Structure 1
Amino acid sequence: MKKSVLEFWVGLFVLLGVAAIGFLAFRVAGGGNVGGSGKTYTVYAEFTDIGGLKVKAPVKTSGVLVGRVGSIQLDPQNYQAKVSLNIDSEYQFSSDVSAQILTSGLLGEQYIGLQQGGDEENLAAGDTITITSSAMVLENLIGRLMTSFAEKSSSDSPAETPAAE
């Protein structure tokens, strides 16, 4: 009798452990808004370069998660990336809010950072954020740095003069 009770409790403990690991794996993988209010509104932002931004990337303000990237599409009229942002309805932003693509750490994941504006009118569902700043792509920065060094070294080298005869 004691052995079967002990086996029951061990089995229950293992089952709870597996459920906890499954829940954490779901959350880390960007699964649904488990535990959140679930009510969101969608706004849009257009960027010339989104770098490595992905769907379900965080949308943050002051380091606080306020939403997620819903979708990324190419606008056929102006060939810019149109990003839909699903913002938690408990957070309201002014109509002159700015959005920029940032990176967590040096090589971390990319996310959208929102900076609150000063306008009294709030963004409504379906509005577009007009003040945006595109991603800083590391490869582009390295290319500019290399070009700058090449130009500087070529201008620093003394001009060759023809040899006197």
Structure 2
Amino acid sequence: MKRFNLETVVGLFLVAGFACLAYLAVRLGDVGLFRDESYPVVARFTSVSGLKKDATVEIAGVPVGNVADIRLDPDRFEAVVRLRIRKGVPLQEDCIASIRTAGIIGDRFVEIKPGGSPDLIPPGGEIMETESAVNLEELISKYVFEK
């Protein structure tokens, strides 16, 4: 009987330890299972070459969100990018979303330039003004091979 109690205590201790480790992994990994402190916004681009899911969204060089999803609109042949923007960061209706590169050959990210409109984009709304990614290889080939 005494052995059964010791095994039970050790088992409960191990289960509690694994639960604590799982909780810390989720919280420190910024997974967001327990709370969602962001709102969705959609932007349409003609090209999102090199942009990946979970890429950073920045305003004035400060991270304010990330890319949640990228898909193709088969009717308009445009890339539809769903962004998660941190709550408390308002986006004006006339803001501009651009795809930029960190450095010359760095990762792609979405930069948002604030607008001046007093009207804000509601959660689930769409950024109307966008600038697509610049394809460096295409620019070089135009310069080299154009006469």
TM-score, length of structure 1 as denominator length: 0.68
**2:75 aligned partner:** 77
Larger Rg: 1
Amino acid at match of 1:40: S
Shift of 1:137: 1.3
**Greater strand fraction, Structure 1 or Structure 2:** 2
Task: Report % sequence identity.
Answer: 33
**2:117 aligned partner:** 119
Aligned length: 122
**1:9 aligned partner:** none
Listed as ranges, the matches of 1:1-165 within 5 Å are 32=31, 38-148=36-146, 151=147
- Alpha-carbon displacement from aligned partner over 1:73-113 (angstroms, at most 9, x marks no partner): 00011000000000001100111110000000000000000
Q: Which runs of 5+ in 2 are unaligned?
A: 1-20
CA RMSD of aligned residues (A): 2.0
Question: For the residues of structure 1 that align with 2:123 and 2:75, how far apart are their CA atoms?
Answer: 22
- Alpha-carbon displacement from aligned partner over 1:103-150 (angstroms, at most 9, x marks no partner): 0000000000000001101111111111000001121111111123xx
Shift of 1:33: 5.3
Question: For the residues of structure 2 that align with 1:120 and 1:82, how far apart are their CA atoms?
Answer: 25
Q: Which runs of 5+ in 1 are unaligned?
A: 1-18, 152-165
